[in-house]
A and B are shown apart, each in its own frame.
Chain A
Amino acid sequence: MLGNLSVFLFFLAWEVLPRYGVLDEAIIPSFSSVVQKLYVLAVQGELLNHIAISLQRAGIGFLLASAVGIPTGFLLAGKFPTLEKMLLPLLRLMEKINPFALFPVFILLLGIGEVSKISLIFWVCQFPIIFNTIMGQKAIDPLLIKTGRSMGASNIALFFKVILPAALPSIFNGLKFGAQLAFIMVISAEMLGSSSGMGWMARNAQETYKITQLFGATMCIAILGLIINKVFRMIEGRMLLWREDAFEGNQN
């Protein structure tokens, strides 16, 4: 626990310095007052509402991206390799386009509602998921596939018992990245053009100078982000544990 001492000291400073006037309390409220404000907002129901809205948008976008991205990745890497060689540079180019700059185009084409935000998240998550799925498929030891085929496995069995499990670590890496991106984009999109959600809450607090609420919303968003990261890393850790024993030959 000594490792976390610096973090603890940081929060301690956050609590003490504003209280004793070293930091202006109007600009940087003490940690306890921020937590208090969050509690009040939570009890009023507002906080949980916004959290739910944000998570919902991110979740839908992310799930859609996975549902489309993973099969697409497999199809491109497995069935249509020439198409993959041709399409990939274009995809890499599109990945580099700043999503924040792209957002107005989405609003233009799809309106100001939920669809544009979810589409943006869908767009941004596609790239890591597709690229990592392709990478995962390509990295499979061809010996495994040949072995499976020589044992008379059908294509479907081959896919579900050999290809999918072997590519899973890489796919999951893409999913992890995608989830983080989804969360970042939902908050950003809400800051830039929305009237609900955690991102909006933070922006609104900034515009109306509700400092404590601003700190609270920001802290909340940060915590949510950390939780999402942690959850995915935990799942990954569990997955990698039983993966290690099953597939010695796979360099993942």
Chain B
Amino acid sequence: MLKRLYQLNNKLLPYYFIILFFGLWQVAPTIGWANPKFIPPLSQVLETGWKLILNGDMFVHISVSLERVFIGLFIAIVIGLPLGFILGGWLPGVAKFLQPLMNLCAQINTMTLLPLFIILFGVGEGGKYSVIFWASFWPILFTTLEGVRQVDPLLIKCARSMGVNGFTIFFKVILPGAALQIFTGIRIGTTMAFMLLIAAEFLGANMGLGWLIRNSEDNWQIPRLFLGLFSIALVGMIINYSLEWLEKNLITWRDTTPGITN
């Protein structure tokens, strides 16, 4: 009996502080440890959230934000993936030539480019899409390149010696071989995209989760502000877990767990 309790305790250990944190969030403003005007109790935040869900606002903001992320991400994938394959597989010389320039572009933090992109592509959706695209494009391109490069050349030669044509080699050898790297790149790209999305919506938007926070700040609607924060964290986590789930279920041929996970 005692042993079972110990085992249960060990399993729950990581969650204690998280529970404590949320508990504190609820209790502290209620008792007065924290000023409820600045830090509303968790229940009030959730209540505001429920109200916004009921009147449909929440749905609008979330869908607008997600739409922006996914469109930017989509363009990044559509351009980045083929480009990565072409540069990695067919034109390694060109890849080597462009590498310093690409490294330079990727190193420059996207936030830095935000005002520039707003001027170049407009204050509206153009600026946001371009920033999200830029932020997610580079990880996807680089990981695809790397993924193609590290496919065991022996496998390709094997396939060739069996008389397989180019397309089949691509779909049956290269793509699966690079798939893991590519997925990692897409995950990183999505994280960056989401981060930049919030910043971009801060600077100029009239809808979306980032705007929700900005607007709440301007109008001193504190529970709504925390709600926005909470929603962003939640949506971000859901997206991340979805991608991980997708990766686990699509890449069924990997038999060793990678050492580089986070």
Name A's B-contacting residues (CB within 8 A).
Answer: 3-7, 10, 27-28, 82, 85-90, 93, 96-98, 100-102, 104-105, 107-109, 183-184, 187-188, 191-192, 202-203, 205-206, 209, 211, 214-215, 217-218, 221-222, 225-226, 229
Q: With A and B bound together, what is the CA distance between A192 and B214 in angstroms?
A: 10
Q: With A and B bound together, what is the CA distance between A188 and B196 in angstroms?
A: 10
What A residues does B60 contact at CB under 8 A? none
Decide: B115 and A89 in contact? CB cutoff 8 A: no
What A residues does B31 contact at CB under 8 A? none
Interface residues on B, range: 35 or more
What B residues does A211 contact at CB under 8 A? 119
Stretch binding the partner chain, chosen from B74-82, B103-111, B245-253: B103-111
What B residues does A225 contact at CB under 8 A? 107-109, 112
Residue of A nearest to B123 (CB): A206
Q: Is B50 an interface residue, CB under 8 A from the partner?
A: no
What B residues does A191 contact at CB under 8 A? 111, 114-115, 199, 203
What A residues does B56 contact at CB under 8 A? none
What B residues does A104 contact at CB under 8 A? 213-214, 216-217, 225
Residue of A nearest to B104 (CB): A7
Knowing A101-B229, A105-B225, say if A96 contacts B237 (CB, 8 Å). yes
What B residues does A108 contact at CB under 8 A? 38, 217, 222, 225
Residues 92-106 (chain B) with a chain A CB within 8 angstroms: 96-101, 104
Q: Which of A85, A97, A108, A211 has the largest count of B CB atoms less than 10 A from its CB?
A: A108
Q: With A and B bound together, what is the CA distance between A87 and B228 in angstroms?
A: 25
Which 7 residue pairs of A and B lie closest in terms of their CB atoms, listed nearest first? A206-B115, A6-B101, A89-B14, A90-B17, A104-B217, A222-B108, A188-B111
What B residues does A203 contact at CB under 8 A? 115, 203
Q: With A and B bound together, what is the CA distance between A4 and B101 in angstroms?
A: 7
9 contacts between A and B (CB under 8 A): A3-B100, A7-B101, A7-B104, A89-B15, A98-B194, A108-B38, A187-B111, A203-B203, A206-B118
Decide: B210 and A222 in contact? CB cutoff 8 A: no
Q: Is B86 an interface residue, CB under 8 A from the partner?
A: no
Decide: A100 and B210 in contact? CB cutoff 8 A: yes
Contact of A214 among B39, B116, B228 (CB under 8 A): B116
Contact of B109 among A3, A5, A97, A187 (CB under 8 A): A187
Decide: B100 and A4 in contact? CB cutoff 8 A: yes
Knowing A88-B14, A96-B237, say if A101 contacts B210 (CB, 8 Å). yes
Decide: A187 and B119 in contact? CB cutoff 8 A: no
Q: Is B233 an interface residue, CB under 8 A from the partner?
A: yes
Decide: A93 and B18 in contact? CB cutoff 8 A: yes
Residues 111-158 (chain B) with a chain A CB within 8 angstroms: 111-116, 118-120
Q: How far is the CB of A203 from chain B (nearest CB, A)?
A: 5
Residues 207-229 (chain B) with a chain A CB within 8 angstroms: 209-210, 213-214, 216-217, 222, 225-226, 228-229
Q: Is B186 an interface residue, CB under 8 A from the partner?
A: no
Contact of A10 among B101, B116, B198 (CB under 8 A): B101
What B residues does A28 contact at CB under 8 A? 120
Residue of B nearest to A211 (CB): B119
Decide: B199 and A100 in contact? CB cutoff 8 A: yes
Q: Is B179 an interface residue, CB under 8 A from the partner?
A: no
Q: With A and B bound together, what is the CA distance between A6 and B232 in angstroms?
A: 39
Q: A6-B98, A191-B115 are in contact. List 19 more A-B contacts (CB 8 A).
A: A6-B101, A85-B13, A86-B13, A96-B240, A98-B194, A100-B210, A101-B198, A101-B228, A104-B213, A104-B216, A183-B109, A187-B112, A188-B111, A192-B199, A192-B202, A205-B115, A218-B112, A222-B109, A226-B104
Q: How far is the CB of A62 from chain B (nearest CB, A)?
A: 15
Knowing A3-B99, A87-B17, A88-B14, say if A202 contacts B119 (CB, 8 Å). no
Q: Is B195 an interface residue, CB under 8 A from the partner?
A: yes
Q: Which of A96, A98, A188 has the largest count of B CB atoms less than 10 A from its CB?
A: A98
Q: Is B167 an interface residue, CB under 8 A from the partner?
A: no
